[in-house]
Amino acid sequence: MAQQIADRRDVDFVLFEQLEIEQFQNYEKFKDFSKKVIDMVITEARNLSIKEILPTLKEGDREGLIFKDGKVTLPDSYKKAYKLFVEGEWVAMGADTELGGQGLPNVVIQAVFDYFLGANYQFTLYGMSGYGPGEMIEIFGNREQKDLYLKKLYCGEWGGTMVMTEPEAGSDVGAISTTAVRNTDGTYSISGNKIFITNAEHDLNDNIIHPVLARIEGAPKGTKGISLFIVPKIRVNADGSLGDPNDVVVTGLEDKMGMHASATCSVTFGGKGNCQGMLLGDENQGMKIMFHLMNAARLAIGAVGQTSGSAAYLHALNYAAERIQGRDLEKTFDSEAESVTIINHPDVRRMLIWMKAHVEGMRSLLYYGALCHDREQYGETEKEREYYKDLFEILTPVIKSYCTDRGFEVCSEAMQVFGGYGYTKDYPVEQLLRDVRIASIYEGTNGVQAMDLLARKLPMKKGAVLLNLVTEIQNVANKAKEQPALAGMAEKVEGAANRLIEAAMHLGKTAMSSAVKAAFLHAVPFQEVMGDICMAWMLLWRAEVSIKKLADGAKKKDTEFYQGQIKTASYFINSILPVTIGKIESILANDISALEISEAGFGV
């Protein structure tokens, strides 16, 4: 069962062999996090995931939610698992211990996510819902706000949300119409309607704290005039006790393709004119506060894609190793030949190695992104912190978009391995496929991520950040070239990285010209190209580590694992990367037919 969530051997490989995270003990903040301690943390997360969280996945999907009189009731299994989640102090893993957290490095949290999200990411979003609002308050709140809210959010006594989207303001956040009017007591009266709010109402917590984007009277138009407010479901008295309801009303639940146990709500704030909120930070600082946490949130959503794909791949792998169907291809015409397990069929192996390459490459990329985030926060020098901050910034849209897109595709491929059975509810891959599809949409659609990559991230420091990323890729390629068995693959990865710069320069020049729309027409393909090249980088890095381990005399039980890493890298670099080069050629060709075709030509 554990292997149907995440491969622990691979998790440990990335942490301790590829990224060598024991180096974190050099930081004062993490001096107590030895390999033994990290092993223990991940083992505890794994055990909780297998025993308590994983069973909620199917029950939540089958039972769904009960919505009555503005209240949402969750399946009973969620309540038991949530109690254990809170008792284990998993809500705010990265927060300081005195605030109820574990003080974990982000890269270790990413490994924990491999199990929590892989077991049931809907549950995990409930479990950690208080962390985002809590971190906002910890960084930007005043003393009163911290005293009232922080510990109860971090310990899981209270839940939280992120309240941005409105019916006419989705990706265009600057178009929000929710208003905030100053009151004489220093609070604000909040009025507006929000939609697609995750976990806005449920029965796991006594109170839910809503960070709400709204516009104060007289504020500038667009995103520059947006402020952020702390709006509790139940008002909080000065002594921290709960007071009266706060005119926050859930008006409906979305009936979704998947995520049937996730309360995705439409919410009315101030429908009776009696909704009060507290300004968080300064006026018109709302988007700054939200963006401060957005990168971490997008990394987590990327992990939703990867972990869903990981679970689906392992289900498909186990099925392929057990399902007997058809003769071996070389014995097709031998009527006496016995049927074999489908893992012996070449096309099934093609699907499995495609899934393996993406699942493992995405794991490495996610952990690497989290490692950059750690170094941004705890690096020894300002130069080091700035360097990794920039890398994290440029990788964020790629991680979010690529991992969610490929995670969905891995689930689809896993269903194909199961054949007709995969399309039924008898096996879990059909639910994994339905549930993960939303990940490409929320926390900024993947098209928006591509626009952000092209408009904001590639031009950072006049392109120097992209060059730094390519240098990181080249460093791995240079190490791999020292190994004769990897030299050819290393040259291909290095060549692809150089072509990435060529494509970026082409799009940059196009974006600065009158043909700006032509540049953004190719933003998503470019983002996919960058994701593919990051996969090749990570897989080559894995192969380079593995070939050294084999040369040093790896233990017998590890030999096949390391050999598998080398074969997986070879498959991706020789079979997938050439397609990526073709995508680069299509970007450089600059076809703009989609812009030139008329609406009538589309059939409107």
For 420-459, the pLDDT digits (tens) are 999 999 999 999 999 999 999 988 899 999 999 999 999 9
What phi and psi, each to the nearest 5 degrees, are found at residue 65?
-115, 155
**Rounded Cα distance, 98 and 335, in Å:** 70
Nearest alpha carbon to residue 483 among 538, 550, 558: 550
| Chain center to CA of 297 | 7
Is there a single domain that holds both residue 81 and residue 9? yes
Are residue 52 and residue 126 in the same domain, yes or no?
yes
Residue 119 is part of a domain; what is its CATH number? 1.10.540
DSSP structure class, residue 462: G
For residues 524, 530, 535, 538, the Cα torsion angle rounded to the nearest 10 degrees is -150
**Res 3: pLDDT:** 58
- Co-location of 452 and 580 in the same domain: yes
CATH number, domain at 192? 2.40.110.20
The identity of residue 407, as a single letter, is: G
In the chain, which stretches have pLDDT less than 50?
Answer: 1-2
Q: Flag whether 598 is in a domain.
A: no
Residue 360, domain member (yes or no): no
Whether residue 464 is found in the same domain as residue 570: yes
Q: With respect to residue 367, please indicate whether it lies within any of the assigned structural domains.
A: no
Residue 584 and residue 450 share a domain: yes
Question: Do 470 and 565 sit in the same domain of this protein?
Answer: yes
Q: Are residues 125 and 175 in the same domain?
A: no
Question: Which backbone phi and psi does 273 adopt, to 5 degrees?
Answer: 75, 25
Q: What angle do CA 410, 436, 364 make, to 5 degrees?
A: 55
Asked, for residue 506, whether it belongs to a domain, the answer is yes
- How far apart CA 475 and CA 473 sit, in angstroms, is 5
Q: Are residues 207 and 122 in the same domain?
A: no
Q: Given 104, 137, 170, which residue is the final one in a domain?
A: 137
Dihedral angle, C-alpha 261, 131, 40, 396, nearest 10 °: 90
**Same domain, residue pair 453 and 572:** yes
Residue 91 has φ and ψ, to the nearest 5°, of -60, -45
H, E, C per residue of 335-387: CCCCEEEHHHCHHHHHHHHHHHHHHHHHHHHHHHHHHHHHHHHHCCCHHHHHH
Q: Which of 365, 362, 366, 451 is nearest to 405 (CA)?
A: 362
Reading the block at residue 202, the tokens are: 């449920």
Size of the chain in residues: 604
Residue closest to 74 by CA, chosen among 61, 64, 84, 83: 64
Q: Which of 252, 284, 316 is the last residue of a domain?
A: 284
Residue ranges with strand state E in 185-306: 188-198, 208-216, 226-232, 234-236, 242-245, 248-253, 264-269, 276-280
- Give yes or no: residues 116 and 211 share one domain: no
Residue bearing tokens 């300081």: 96
For 13-47, b where at least 16 C-beta lie within 10 A, e where not — what string? bbbebbbebeebeebeebeebeeeebeebbeebbe
Structure tokens at 166: 């409105």
> Domain ends where: 233, 252, 284?
284
pLDDT at 2: 43
> Is the same domain home to 460 and 586?
yes
Q: 426: helix, coil or strand?
A: coil
Say what the pLDDT of residue 152 is. 96
Active site residues: 443
Total Cβ atoms within 10 A of residue 439: 26
Task: Supply angle C-alpha 582, 588, 594, rounded to 5.
Answer: 95
Domain tally, the chain: 3
8 A C-beta contact, residue 109 and residue 296: no
**What is the 8-class DSSP label of residue 186?**
S
Same domain, 249 and 129: no
DSSP 166: B
Expressed as residue numbers, the domain containing 260 is 160-284
Q: Is residue 358 in some structural domain?
A: no
Q: How far is CA 307 from CA 8, 285, 404, 467, in A?
A: 13, 34, 10, 30
- Which residues are CB-contacts of 47 (< 8 A; sequence separation ≥ 6)? none
423 assigned to some structural domain: no
271 domain residue, yes or no: yes
| Tokens describing residue 395 | 């990788």
Query: 130 forms bridges with which residues in the sheet?
Result: none
- 520 found inside a domain: yes
Asked if 92 and 131 touch (Cβ cutoff 8 Å), the reply is yes
Q: What does the alpha-carbon distance between residue 431 and residue 411 come to, in Å, rounded to a whole number?
A: 9
Cβ proximity of 310 and 6 under 8 Å: yes
